Amino acid sequence: MGYLQEARENHVKKKVEEALISKMKQRALKECDNLASKYAQCAAGRTLSVVWQCRKQAKELNACLHQYTNDAMLEKMKKEYNRQQQQEGKEPLPL
């Protein structure tokens, strides 16, 4: 598949892309909720020391979040959105 064809398949309006990014972030937070709780427990009652005291929890949380919030995931969501639009009889927007 050529670059131009792939770009057309993944093209969505900016508003749609922003909504997909928001949905992607919500899903990531839901999937990583247990790690977010661990980080929050570690950070509770701390101020500046949270940086070094909770470093392990922060790294684990960030690694988890990155699994669900990256360019590959966004492209996958765009393809799914365009597929749904085609099934509903709406053509995805050309470049």
Per-residue pLDDT reduced to its tens digit, 76-93: 999 999 888 888 876 555
The answer to whether 92 and 23 are in contact (CB under 8 A) is no
Q: How many helices (H) and strands (E) does the chain have?
A: 6, 0
Q: How far apart are CA 92 and CA 79, in angstroms?
A: 10
Per-residue pLDDT reduced to its tens digit, 13-63: 889 999 999 999 999 999 999 999 999 999 999 999 999 999 999 999 999
Full-model pTM: 0.72
Q: How far apart are CA 11 and CA 88, in angstroms?
A: 17
Neighbours of 92 (CB within 10 A): 20
And the tokens for 1?
């598949």
